[in-house]
Structure 1
């Protein structure tokens, strides 16, 4: 199964499918897209920036366009890929609060374990995604962006809980950490090193 949405007016691209979407990464290469990899009943193995990771069953991994990935193995995966033109995480950061935490974080690797309740929620959301991809009308693009925002909000909440940022008192500290991570990422892109 592979579903593709292209917004010709903006150049936006969204792909939803299984491990076949990762076949292009049989050799290490830059992702070029934002990628979510969700394991179901099987583990997956992937190298990110040269470091091997085993993604346990019922987990979710978030990757950025600038990371180098090498897909080693995995079955029954659910994969989401999208470009900046489809959904810009920096422009929509007020909505989803994921820049510097779920994406572009240097403090942790964004790997999230999904409990039974979370699995059910992500399964339901996936069904809505697939249904919307098969419903072509004038508001399809906006609906898919809203679903992606929901997906990222759910993921960010789980990651915050995992990392101990669940309380409102920690929001100021978390926003500072997110801003720092984004500045380091921007500086590294421009200078190609952490310091110069």
Structure 2
């Protein structure tokens, strides 16, 4: 089925062959209790069955003992942004600029979500007219249930969820689309038609950090990705991220990470099981 696929993750899965195939896809990863995954530069253990929601830019490495299932789809098959008005997940489960979205599940929650994954697997084997549409509906159900669970685990009051989520979504989207060119908080405040002080207060309230730190963190994450996974020079990376002065970028990177870009690059070993 074009633009969509799934497979089981076992200790015999050769994930290295999936690198190029998955780099342009959204991913939903189900990992069983006891599994381990490294997403970008953070290693996450699964003390319970866990679902992860990754966008096209996430780099991840599965531990050799990881078990579960992976679903991938592109925007032509199912566009998260197009369906966001219905699902309210963009900026939460996907394109979340402050954390990697994942949910640890109770036994009942895992049973319910895995039932939907199993239904998707069955529909993949069908070749009739309705199978693709049913898979899209099942993806929608998974995302809705996962968003509910995420909101509970992060103690978001559902009574004011719409207003809070709307701000999170707008600010997250603006930063995600502009961090490589726009670094000033005042510019984001202007795009949101609010004052810098109001933006700062809203961000601190919703994210427990400042807007400037969120912008800086996003720049640093992309810088680390480019340092670890490409052969671009530091000067090329600094220009890619909107810095005409590579010396200034070096100082900025060291201030944020306590190390220089080149030193960071030397510490990164490209894993054998790299998916991107």
Q: 1:25 to 1:58 in 2, by over 3 A?
A: farther
Q: Could you state the TM-score of these two structures normalised by the residue count of structure 2?
A: 0.60
- Write the distance in 2 (CA, Å) between the matches of 1:49 and 1:192: 23
Q: Does 1:37 align with 2:39?
A: no
The match for 1:86 among 77, 80, 88 is 77
The match for 1:121 among 109, 112, 116 is 112
User: Per-residue CA shift, 1:72-123, capped at 9, x if unaligned?
Assistant: 3343211111111111100110121111000111233212011111111112
Q: Is the 8 A contact 2:34 2:45 kept in 1?
A: no
Q: 1:62 to 1:105 in 2, by over 3 A?
A: same
Aligned residues: 183
- Write the distance in 1 (CA, Å) between the matches of 2:140 and 2:78: 8
The match for 2:9 among 7, 11, 19 is 19
SS for the counterpart of 1:156 is helix
What's the RMSD between the two structures over aligned residues? 2.6
The unaligned stretches of length 5 or more in structure 2 are 184-214, 217-241, 243-276
Q: Could you state the TM-score of these two structures normalised by the residue count of structure 1?
A: 0.82
Higher helix share: 2
User: Per-residue CA shift, 1:113-134, capped at 9, x if unaligned?
Assistant: 1111111111221221122112
Partner of 1:102: 93
- Write the distance in 1 (CA, Å) between the matches of 2:156 and 2:25: 27
> What's the offset of the Cα at 1:26?
8.8
- Write the distance in 1 (CA, Å) between the matches of 2:178 and 2:17: 27
Q: Is the 8 A contact 1:95 1:149 kept in 2?
A: no
User: Per-residue CA shift, 1:146-170, capped at 9, x if unaligned?
Assistant: 1111111111111111111242223
Partner of 2:191: none
> What's the offset of the Cα at 1:22?
7.1
Which piece of structure 1 moves more, 143-152 or 165-174? 165-174
The unaligned stretches of length 5 or more in structure 1 are 7-12
Question: Which structure is larger by alpha-carbon Rg, 1 or 2?
Answer: 2
